[in-house]
Amino acid sequence: MGHQFYPTKVGDYMTLEKTLLMIPGPVNVSPRVLRAMAKPVINHRSPEFGKRTLEINEMLKKVFKTNNDIIILTSSGTGGVEAALANTIKAGDKVLVCVNGAFGERARNIAEVYNADIIDVNADWGKAISSKDVKEKLTQDTKAVVMVYNETSTGVQNPIGEVGEIVKQTNTLFIVDAISGLGGHYVGVDEFGIDICVVGSQKCLAAPPGLAFVSISSKAWKVIELNKPRSLYFDLVRAKSFLQKDPPQTPFTPAVSTFYGLHEALKIVEEEGLENWIKRHEIIAKATREGIKAMGLELFADEKVASNTVTPIKYPAGINDKEFRKTMRTKYLVEVAGGQKQLSGKIFRIGHLGTVTSSDIISTLSAVEMAMNDFGIKIEPGVGLSAAQRVFRG
Amino acid sequence: MGHQFYPTKVGDYMTLEKTLLMIPGPVNVSPRVLRAMAKPVINHRSPEFGKRTLEINEMLKKVFKTNNDIIILTSSGTGGVEAALANTIKAGDKVLVCVNGAFGERARNIAEVYNADIIDVNADWGKAISSKDVKEKLTQDTKAVVMVYNETSTGVQNPIGEVGEIVKQTNTLFIVDAISGLGGHYVGVDEFGIDICVVGSQKCLAAPPGLAFVSISSKAWKVIELNKPRSLYFDLVRAKSFLQKDPPQTPFTPAVSTFYGLHEALKIVEEEGLENWIKRHEIIAKATREGIKAMGLELFADEKVASNTVTPIKYPAGINDKEFRKTMRTKYLVEVAGGQKQLSGKIFRIGHLGTVTSSDIISTLSAVEMAMNDFGIKIEPGVGLSAAQRVFRG
């Protein structure tokens, strides 16, 4: 079964420093970003921190391709989605929610908690939502359309460009969970007509987890400002008013160190350039898919709408998910994710987002080949690697 | 006017590294804690992170003096207070809210957002809430009593021990915002009968900001489990169910790096010992008050109920708050806080919590003496320092 390098003990952080984190977020955070977080924690209402906050805000606007306001919340991405709904939806409001995976379901859960009158638009898991279905179910009194852009659970991109085109001609708000998509795909928030766009720090932008970014269009502000907020912590009007103070600040104490990390992570994006950053994700995703197919394994998602940031792979019959991923992790030091909800045990997912390189993908595919071999699936050594390399060579 | 050391430019982080942060949170974070945060970001659903989470949980229980469950939220302390109310209160429920400062007002705001039927118990800012007033207004159908323990805006401790004694004999829940108090004062969560106790990471425990801790008694769980949660992000039942998984985890991606920092910060508390940790806060608070009084300045809060973690001081007539604090910060490299809401411009506040030492207080008091002198208030050099030192000598 080959020599085992670095036998892992659970809780052994030394080994973890040699382990590739290839899950769809959080992602490997650059040492530069980790070092930035070691700056002293300062007063969150000081001019220095206000200046830093504004800088981050401007950097985020470039990444979002928007002139809209951006609010930074100390929460996970889900907190950002909750903020979007808590500020726009009144009990009984008609909300069209698109569901084709676990994160669509989560958005629907939030709409339920806020007592929305939910109109469902579904697609099979692994397929994209049809913009035609959205158009058909959209009515004059639909308050909002909620769509997950990059469905992390299935590796599918939903058609936010097409849906944005439809919704922008109405009074309905277009709310997009782009948590794991923006930065790995081209998302033009203003161009697509996204009224509220939510992104998480620990995904394509490769910052540490703990922050959510919420962009808000003037069309959305008009709705929000007339509403009574249904959460204090997620009150966007309050957040905006604090951002406009001198110095700019947040209503409640923010995760100061994570802001430092985010600032450095965004500088790294700027250095590569957003266009190159996205292009890298695209190439790496394609290399991953070609590598997997060359091994004779089956992709889960419809390739026409495949995500640039996560690739789910169907398990060949007879492979136990937990055992396989344990082998990947402890023997080959590559951590991949399992399936969620109804896909649990049926697929594994390779996350390839953030500062991911061709070396990371080659290492990951090699670990998949060897682990599959350990489980009795015959794969010619290196067949996936050469296929991936062909993509990298262009 | 004396020689100016280290002339500060706004945004100059080198100078900030020489600046004492003496605000009531966030606090100076130990370099040990900052270094701990530089560990690689790992999978938040891995056994390693689960193990770390459980360790933190057990360490927090010791600090809270509780056997109750503790949920860690990626949010500010205010998010923790919102979680407490969002899970226990239905619209129209009678909630007794104690207000004698800005954080009491904030708790009241949250109760309003959740449409509680609010019964007010007030006290003048600078005075403590009377437990007798709580007892008088408490009725059989009061769902919860909400009290801020350490009112950071006024430097006053409220009588949570007495109120706990009253409430524990009823069906009412006792919800305490101990965000800036626990760790700097003795708070026996179980002994006092606190059903939900909320604490923030960036206060007495000297971890970086971004996490809130919420302890929940079995009496509170009984109420919570019958309720429909009014927030998904703050759904405590969901959080508990994820903590019970193997490996233990959070429903949504937590601030992984901040967890590392918190773990190290709690180790530091254990090394000094909680009892010594609290005793240090008590001595330092007393030294601060004696130093201030010896300068001829006036304390804002009733000394009988003075906080161990923050000391508000009335400005002598004619001193401009912004100018004074700017001098403190740029000339003497000590950052203190201003007043909040109705106290803005009238007081300044020295925060002395976390890993604060006698040197920190001596430096701060010296800066106050010199800055006051700059503004024409005659204070004999060192008069406050010698008074403080007398307290330290015991």
* Last residue of one domain, picked from the residues B270, B286, B312: B270
Determine whether the interchain pair B11/A75 forms a contact, defined as Cβ–Cβ distance below 8 Å.
no
Contacts of A31 in chain B (CB under 8 A): 38
Q: What is the CATH number of the domain that holds A258?
A: 3.40.640.10
CB neighbourhood size of A67 (10 A): 11
Whether residue A363 has pLDDT greater than 60 = yes
Mean of the pLDDT values across residues A161-181?
98
Task: Report whether B46 contacts B247 (CB < 8 A).
Answer: yes
Q: What's the whole-number mean pLDDT along residues A138-164?
A: 98
Q: Name the residue in chain B with its Cα closest to that of A8.
A: B48
Task: Give the residue from A63, A117, A60 showing the smallest Cα distance to A85.
Answer: A117
Q: According to the model, what pLDDT value does residue B7 have?
A: 56
Spatial distance between the Cα atoms of A2 and B112, rounded to a whole number of angstroms: 64
Domain that holds residue A198: 31-270
Nearest to B90 by CA among B236, B233, B217, B224: B224
B376 and A CB contact within 8 Å:
no
Give the per-residue SS3 of B308-360.
CCEEEEECCCCCCHHHHHHHHHHCCCEECEECCHHHCCCEEEEECCCCCCHHH
The per-residue pLDDT for range A313-358, each reduced to its tens digit, is 999 999 999 999 999 998 898 999 999 999 999 999 999 999 999 9
The rounded distance, in Å, linking the Cα atoms of B165 and B167 is: 6
Percent of chain A scored above 90 by pLDDT?
93
Residue A82 pLDDT level (bands cut at 50, 70, 90) = very high
Buried b (16+ CB within 10 A) or exposed e, B340-368: beebeeebbbbbbbbbbebebbbbbbbbb
Contact B138, B145 (CB under 8 A): yes
Q: Sort strands A69-73 and A212-216 into parallel, antiparallel or unpaired.
A: antiparallel
Chain A residue with CA closest to B111: the answer is A232
- pLDDT band of residue A19 (cuts 50, 70, 90) is confident
R_g (Cα) of chain A, nearest Å? 21
Shared-domain flag, residues A190 and A330? no
Interchain contact, B26 vs A256, CB within 8 Å: yes
Residue in chain A closest to B253 (alpha carbons) equals A76
Question: For residue B60, what are its two tokens?
Answer: 């927090």
Specify the DSSP element, H or E, that contains B69: strand B69-73
Q: Is B77 on the interface with A (CB under 8 A)?
A: yes
Question: Is the domain of A311 the same as that of A330?
Answer: yes
Nearest by CB to B229, from A40, A113, A234: name it.
A113
Count of domains observed in chain A: 2
Residues of B in contact with A35 (CB under 8 A): 38
Best residue of A74, A108, A242, A330 to probe chain B, by most B CBs closer than 10 Å: A74
Query: CA of B126 to nearest chain A CA: how many angstroms apart?
Result: 22
Partner-chain contact B47 A232, CB within 8 Å = no
CATH of the domain at B352: 3.90.1150.10
What's the number of CA atoms in the CB half-sphere (13 Å) around residue A147?
29
Measure the CA–CA gap between B326 and B315, rounded to whole angstroms: 14
The residue from A230, A254, A270 where one domain ends is A270
B248 and B112 belong to one structural domain: yes
The answer to whether B70 touches B197, Cβ cutoff 8 Å, is no
How much is the CA Rg of chain B, to the nearest whole Å? 21
Cβ atoms A87, A229 nearer than 8 A: yes
Closest CA–CA distance from residue B190 to any residue of chain A (Å): 27
**Cα B193 to Cα B66: distance, rounded to the nearest angstrom:** 10
Distance of alpha carbon A61 from alpha carbon A55, whole angstroms = 10
Tokens representing residue A164 in the block: 């944005």
Tell me, yes or no, whether B211 lies in a domain: yes
Same domain, A186 and A328: no
Please tell me the distance from the alpha carbon of residue B57 to that of residue B69, in angstroms, as a whole number: 8
pTM: 0.95
Task: Give the Cα separation of B305 and B285 in Å (integer).
Answer: 12
Is residue B53 located within the same domain as residue B169? Answer: yes
CA B390 distance to own-chain centroid: 27
For the cut 70, the answer to whether the pLDDT of residue A38 exceeds it is yes
> Considering only alpha carbons, which residue of chain A is nearest residue B336?
A43
Virtual CA dihedral for A326, A328, A333, A335, nearest 10 degrees? Answer: -80
B250 and B299 housed in the same domain: no
A-chain residue closest to B33, CA distance: A38
Cis preceding linkage at A316, omega within 30 = no
| Among B100, B56, B53, B103, CA closest to B77 | B103
The answer to whether the Cβ–Cβ distance between A232 and B113 falls below 8 Å is yes
In this model, does residue A98 exceed pLDDT 90? yes
- Asked, for residue A8, whether it belongs to a domain, the answer is no
What single-letter DSSP state applies at residue B176?
E
Show which of residues 94-123 on chain B sit within 8 Å of chain A, judged by CB atoms: 106, 109-110, 113
Residues of A in contact with B19 (CB under 8 A): 42
Say what the pLDDT of residue B1 is. Answer: 55
Same domain for A312 and A251: no
Domain-embedded: residue B139: yes
CB spacing of A210 vs B21 below 8 angstroms: no
Contact A379, A373 (CB under 8 A): yes
Spell A111-141 as b/e; 16+ CB within 10 A means b.
bebbebeebebebebbbbbbbebbeeebeee
Handedness of CA A180, A182, A187, A193 (dihedral sign): positive
- For residue B19, which phi and psi values (nearest 5 degrees)? -100, 130
The answer to whether residue B59 sits within a structural domain is yes
CB contact under 8 A, B253 and A26: yes
**Please, which residues bridge with residue A156 across strands?**
A151, A306
- The interface pTM score, or ipTM, of the predicted complex is 0.92
Among A205, A240, A270, identify where a domain stops: A270
Tens of pLDDT along A243-295?
Answer: 999 999 999 999 999 999 999 999 999 999 999 999 999 999 999 999 999 99
User: In this structure, are strands A173-177 and A142-148 parallel, antiparallel, or unpaired?
Assistant: parallel
Closest-CA distance, B133 to chain A, in angstroms, reads 27
Question: Considering the domain boundaries, does residue A3 fall inside one?
Answer: no
| Residue A42 sits in the same domain as residue A136 | yes
A 327-346 near B (Cβ less than 8 A)? 335, 337
Residues A226 and A316 occupy one common structural domain: no
Check B209 against A254: CB less than 8 A apart.
Answer: yes
Partner residue opposite A208 with nearest CB, options B23, B251, B256? B256
What average pLDDT does range A76-80 have in this prediction?
Answer: 98
Residue B27 in contact with partner chain A when CB distance is under 8 A: yes
Query: What is the tens place of the pLDDT at every residue in B188-214?
Result: 999 999 999 999 999 999 999 999 999
Q: Which residue of A has its CA nearest to B113?
A: A230
Give the residue from A29, A28, A35 showing the smallest Cα distance to B31: A35
Q: Which residues of A touch B233 (CB under 8 A)?
A: 75-76, 78-79, 82, 234
- Interface check A53 vs B, CB under 8 A: no
Is B26 part of the contact surface with chain A (CB cutoff 8 Å)?
Answer: yes
Give the pLDDT of chain B (394 residues) as one tens digit per residue.
Answer: 566 665 555 555 556 778 899 999 999 999 999 999 999 999 999 999 999 999 999 999 999 999 999 999 999 999 999 999 999 999 999 999 999 999 999 999 999 999 999 999 999 999 999 999 999 999 999 999 999 999 999 999 999 999 999 999 999 999 999 999 999 999 999 999 999 999 999 999 999 999 999 999 999 999 999 999 899 999 999 999 999 999 999 999 999 999 999 999 999 999 999 999 999 999 999 999 999 999 999 999 999 999 999 999 999 999 999 999 999 998 898 999 999 999 999 999 999 999 999 999 999 999 999 999 999 999 999 999 999 999 999 8
Residue A330: its pLDDT value, please? Answer: 87
β-strands A117-122, A94-99 pairing: parallel
| Residue owning tokens 């390693």 | B48
